[in-house]
Each structure stands twice: as C-alpha cells, then as structure tokens.
Amino acid sequence: MSDLENANKVLVPVATSVLAHIVRSIVDVPDAVKVQPVEDEGKVILEVRVADGDLGRVIGRRGRTAQSIRAVVRAAATRDNAEVDVDFLDD
C-alpha cells in the first residue's frame, strides 16, 4: 500500500471500515472488495469495487441496497467529522 493510499484511509477511517464490512458481508467474493477514499472539493468519495457478478447484489433492486448502504456510511462518517459519498464502480 502506498503512502498516498494510507493518507486517504486516514481521512475517514470509520466510514471506510463500516463500508468495507457491509459490502464484504453481502457479496459472494469478499476478498475482492476494494474501498478507496478519494478527496474531491472538500468531500470524500468512497469508491467501491467488487468482483464480477457482485455489483448487482450490492446495488439491489431499484438501488435500494445501495441507498441503504450510503445512508449508514454517511451516518458513520459523522464520527470522522467528514461528508462522504459512496460510488459503486464497475470494473
């Protein structure tokens, strides 16, 4: 892990950990889950990548699972004193 990745994880450690835990518990291949914080104009975007075939499971029907995950992670980010958004990316 590079110094830049370590610096980014320090930005929102609670939100990052909560997000990684939730997503790993949902997917079929938990070892493939990658959460990378990216700072953008004072806001932190948590980019989530999962194994092929797991994205639909994380997004859920009509995006309900994704919206629920975002709500929980935003609440966890209050412990980090930060505003976060979650993006689920397809590789």
* Dihedral of alpha carbons 36, 41, 82, 64, sign: negative
Q: Is pLDDT at 30 greater than 80 in this prediction?
A: yes
Q: Is pLDDT at 6 greater than 80 in this prediction?
A: no
What are the pLDDT digits (tens) for 38-71?
998 878 999 999 999 999 999 999 999 999 999 9
Measured between alpha carbons, how far is residue 61 from residues 20, 43, 57, 64 in Å? 20, 27, 8, 6
Q: Is pLDDT at 17 greater than 70 in this prediction?
A: yes
The mean of the pLDDT values for the chain is 88
Domain boundaries, position 51: 3-89
Burial 21-54 (b: 16+ CB within 10 A, else e): ebbeeebeeeeebebebeeeeeebebebbbbeeb
Q: Is 13 helix (H, G, I), strand (E, B) or coil?
A: helix
Domain count, the chain: 1
Average pLDDT over residues 19-44: 93
CATH of the domain at 46: 3.30.300.20
Q: Is pLDDT at 10 greater than 70 in this prediction?
A: no
